Homo-oligomer: A and B are copies of this chain.
């Protein structure tokens, strides 16, 4: 059994994951990050102890062998280099948590954790070379090459969200203009709707209250401004995926996160657009598929991070 912990700015969600990728015991608590690193570390130790005790009672012959943490930020060699939502910089979390629990501890970025969950048990299972895009408030990524995650020299690999894919129509949180995240995230869908209306395109949606899901639903019904925002998202995502095929030529591309819930309407358009932008059209198209796990991916992938480092 392995423990996976999804460390978020609001909640710490932890689970005991079995070798089928099922969360058999779970627990969570508020992160209260404003209390500082040591306080959060104490909570993580408590979560681990609680899960371990329960695991001992329920699965006597299958003890916890390791812990993995998914962190919303840059991690490198067991150290959280920077996690703005946690207010952490250069925190040796793997070492600290390992000393307090006597278990090996592995750290990965949270989007990478989702990619690991899909690769170990989900949509890209069995593929040694796979990419994952997570389309949520932002755009996260995971790169798996030859069965291992690519973390990079500074821990900033797989940040697809900040690759530049066009001129941009608003400035990204990172300060750049033209990031994929400003075209293809949930945030970008809503901003894209407003932008289309500003350019004179009609919509039946209420600009004050429309969510990303509203934009997708309206696009599906043919709402002109929503369709424009949706097409822009698909265009840039397709361009990014075609570029990834020219760079890494993965066996499969998995798409998760809230926006991926748009289903076939999104995936059909995305496959078509990626094919248009693909250089070598004589091959079978690289499969672009929906993620199988939802919110659990963070815990499951974190639990199995050690196999991918």
Contacts and interface: CB of A to CB of B under 8 A. Distances in A.
Given A152-B249, A251-B153, A279 B129 contact: no
Nearest to A159: B246
Interface stretch (A62-70, A93-101, A143-151): A143-151
B150 A248 contact: yes
Interface residues of A, number: 42
A280 B148 contact: no
A156 B277 contact: no
Interface of A is mostly: loop
Nearest to A283: B154
Contact of A156 (B162, B163, B283): B283
A87 to B, nearest CB: 16
A156 B74 contact: no
A174 interface: yes
Interface string A90-116: 000000000000000000000000000
A115 to B, nearest CB: 13
A176 B248 contact: no
A232 interface: no
A249 B129 contact: no
A176 to B, nearest CB: 7
